[in-house]
Amino acid sequence: MTAEQIYRLSIPLNEITLHLFPDASGLETEAFVHAITARVREVFANLNGVIQSMTVSETQVQVTWKPDGRQPDFVGSIGEILKKGRYLDGSLLLELFLSNDPDNTDLLYNLGMAYSDQNILDRAVTLLTQLVQLAPDHINAHVALGVALLRQGKDEEGVRELELAVKLSPENIWARRDLGVGLIRLGRFAEAESHLLEATKIDPKDQAAWFGYGQALEALGKIKDADQAYIQAIQKDEFSQVAELARKARSKFAQESFRSVTPGTPRMDAVMYCLNALQVLEGLSLDQVKKIGIEIALLGTRGFDINNPQKKYTIKALPGEFSGLQLLCIEYVAFKKFAPGQDIGFDIGTEYNSALKLYEEKDDDEGKKN
């Protein structure tokens, strides 16, 4: 008959671990010990098992824990805790179990990743360095260590670790993508382009890979190709933070192209579109204007081709077809009416002010005639 597993766990209470007990900070001895004890019982309630004994002092926690034989995979259970974003709970449990088995690769990997995601980088690098020394072929460990080093600002070291990961596993999407990011930070844009392009081939649905590829292309001055990469990134998930960054990058391209037509002077086509928009929106209620502005803004999340005069866009709120620049001008004027302080992400203030002056002069002239 196999003896039941009993875990004897112990961690010091010091600068490495005390952040895992936020309720104990600044307390006197008795209250401190009580808070630590309550915290340990709280986190172990997430696992199937029973605490058989616990000793807490000002400097150490000791726990004897017996798992429920029906669910011995406590590492998997802790992983689920971390997936829910409960990093302090998961990290505390991992620290305790690591004390019982300091060379356990699963514990080292999960705890190193958890600390890296919490930006507790010295501890993350220590754990992940230990892991890659124990398991040199652990690809994800090399990737995690490389990312932690990049987050630490140690770009050269992070890139070397990620280059090793790519060498060990050329088809690893995370290794390729994160290596590309590191190479961009080092200014090695041509190498970054190559690795990030490969990442988009490995997983064409990976939004971060497309965005990074766009950044590398942009840095190399390949603006048209970069714009297409950013479009791909946006299409993967239009409402993500990465998509918003890609839209801002595309908006910058469009702004630069827009201004390059008539450097230093207002674009007269945009002035006339803004003037027309002022006339179209004249007399409409604020709610109607808002409806028009928001509909155009939502359509614009996919990007307007403002340098193409072709009228290829339609909206429900207004009849007819419009060019990209025409819709952008209507949106700008609409927002000036119902949300004047909001930035729509494209500056045509010079053109709008010129149009507004013409519009007001027209009203003055009509007033004088009457």
Q: What's the pTM value of the predicted model, to 2 decimals?
A: 0.82
Judged against a pLDDT cut of 90, whether residue 41 lies above it is answered with yes
Quickly count: other Cβ atoms within 10 Å of residue 337's Cβ: 16
d(CA 7, CA 3): 12
Judged against a pLDDT cut of 50, whether residue 1 lies above it is answered with no
pLDDT of residue 300: 86
What residue ranges of the chain are covered by domains with CATH 1.25.40.10?
A: 170-261
Judged against a pLDDT cut of 50, whether residue 2 lies above it is answered with no
pLDDT digits (tens, 9 = 90+) for 229-286: 999 999 999 889 999 999 989 989 988 988 887 788 899 999 999 999 999 999 899 9
Q: What percent of the chain has pLDDT over 70?
A: 96
Place of tokens 């060379």: 103
pLDDT digits (tens, 9 = 90+) for 120-161: 999 999 999 999 999 999 999 999 999 999 999 999 999 999
CATH superfamily of 170-261: Tetratricopeptide repeat domain (1.25.40.10)
Instruction: Transcribe 231-286 into DSSP letters.
Output: HHHHHH-TTSHHHHHHHHHHHHHHHHHHHHHSTTS--HHHHHHHHHHHHHHTT--H
